[in-house]
Amino acid sequence: MENWQRQMWILWVGVLLCSSSYTMVIPLLPLFLPELGVENDSIYWWAGVVQSSAFLVGAVMAPLWGSMADKYGKRKMVIRAGLSLSVVYALTALVHSPWELVGIRLLHGFVGGFVPASMAIVASIAPERRMGWSLGMMQAATMTGSIMGPLLGGLLSHAFGQRQSFIVAASFILLATIAVMLFVKEGKAGTPSTNSPEPAVRGAYRAALHNRQLINLLLLLLLFQLSVNMVQPLLTLHIADMRGNVQDVAATAGFVLSLIGIAGILASPQWGKMGEKSGYLRVLIICLIASGCVISLQYFVHELWLFTIVQFTFGLFLAGIVPVVNTLVVRSTDTAFRGRSFGMTTSANQLGSLLGPLIGGGLGKFLGIQWLFVATGTLLVTAGITVAMRAVAMRIPQQGQKAYSDQTH
């Protein structure tokens, strides 16, 4: 096994544990709100606020952490984020009001960045010919964690209460950080500047404004995260409605939510390989349109078993979007800009994840969650059609990314 592969697999384990800790806690937070005194008539609103609060700060901080990763070393940023997040998850177990939970989530957004910094390391060390596969495997790590997290979080919540699951989540991210500290040896970092990192952040935005392809990809990520997160935070409540009560629903919700992760493990590397062979744009268009069509079918679903099947199918197509976009981002920027580019993609993800739950929580209160499935599907299909139309209009070949990059710069 080559050195870059060893480094990648160590980071794969770290991202797996980080994703597990996140999904062990966050998807089940709406079920934690009644324990904090939230009434049923306002639970949708609070679910949206709690979900969005971390992304508000994260969208602002991500480019800063990305800039610091390029200047001081990506490994240091992984360790910083991991140690900080372990403290944040532990503190979550101590909250006693919804506003305290919002405050902890804001702190979560401030210190985050473990996964994008890990992705940036892999993107910097992987050979160009293995880039799609490498980033697909890293995406599969997040998906694997998204299986373990809800399942373990649901079981722990059912057996011991949700506060204990927060402590376990803190332990997971701490283990991930220790693994990086012991086994990941990044190459020599850039020489730190004596100036504040803020000008570098402004420079990153200025550079991005002159990179048309990067701007398009950031906008696509924002729209994607907005559409998916309109409905995602409310799924546990929807599952409770289909079961007829909210008692003992955590384990069931954890199982159902983990299916998207199972689908991701199966599909993400395959989408990456298909992109390497047939062109990443083609894969992106297929995944956007197909995922939009599938999620829209949930409008007609009222049985939990059928809902589970549709969610799994949705996850198969969803798994191809983020790794393909990440690969296109890597190919549209040079190595020296890698940390900042992943910081900016994280910022776009965070902004979409901020707006999505707020919009979804408001619409869900007045229209019901069934219409949110339709809205999510419409946005995804529209994004896919837009990408296809731009590709045709600009005569971009679908057989290779080089031609795409040349036409869009």
* Domain match, 241 and 352 both: yes
* Domain match, 248 and 164 both: no
Inside any domain, residue 191: no
pLDDT in tens, 253-275: 777 777 777 887 788 778 878 88
Q: Which of 357, 325, 380 is nearest to 215 (CA)?
A: 325
Contact yes or no for 173/21 (Cβ under 8 A): yes
* Domain match, 154 and 298 both: no
Distance of CA 305 to the CA centre of its chain: 26
Whole-angstrom distance, CA of residue 46 vs CA of residue 100: 12
Inside any domain, residue 314: yes
* Domain match, 218 and 264 both: yes
Residue that is last in its domain, among 185, 216, 238: 185
Inside any domain, residue 210: yes
* Domain match, 144 and 290 both: no
pLDDT in tens, 20-67: 888 787 767 777 888 888 777 777 778 778 877 787 787 778 778 877
pLDDT reported for residue 197: 47
Inside any domain, residue 194: no
pLDDT reported for residue 347: 79
Q: What is the DSSP string of 117-175?
A: HHHHHHHHHS-GGGHHHHHHHHHHHHHHHHHHHHHHHHHHHHHH-HHHHHHHHHHHHHH
Q: Is the pTM of this model over 0.75?
A: no
Whether the pLDDT of residue 206 is over 70: the answer is: no
Bigger pLDDT: 307 or 158?
A: 307
Give the three-class secondary structure for 11: helix
Inside any domain, residue 62: yes
How many structural domains comprise the chain?
2
Look up residue 248 and give its amino acid: D
Two tokens, residue 61: 């901080």
pLDDT reported for residue 394: 60
* Domain match, 64 and 112 both: yes
Whole-angstrom distance, CA of residue 134 vs CA of residue 256: 27
CATH of the domain at 179: 1.20.1250.20
Helices 250-278 & 280-296 angle (0-180, nearest 10): 150
Query: Other C-beta atoms within 10 Å of 362: how many?
Result: 14
pLDDT reported for residue 405: 43
pLDDT reported for residue 245: 64
Whether the pLDDT of residue 406 is over 50: the answer is: no
Residue that is last in its domain, among 185, 214, 229: 185
* Domain match, 181 and 298 both: no
Whether the pLDDT of residue 111 is over 80: the answer is: yes
* Domain match, 173 and 294 both: no
* Domain match, 378 and 291 both: yes
* Domain match, 131 and 163 both: yes
Residue range 298-314: mean pLDDT, rounded = 88
* Domain match, 269 and 388 both: yes
Inside any domain, residue 226: yes
Two tokens, residue 81: 């984020």
From residue 178, how far is each of 90, 93, 226, 341, 388 by CA, in Å? 17, 22, 33, 26, 44
For residue 218, what are the domain limits? 203-396
Inside any domain, residue 195: no
Inside any domain, residue 198: no
- Residue 287 pLDDT level (bands cut at 50, 70, 90): very high
Q: Which of 7, 21, 267 is nearest to 136 (CA)?
A: 267
* Domain match, 144 and 259 both: no
pLDDT reported for residue 177: 92
Residue that is last in its domain, among 185, 220, 254: 185
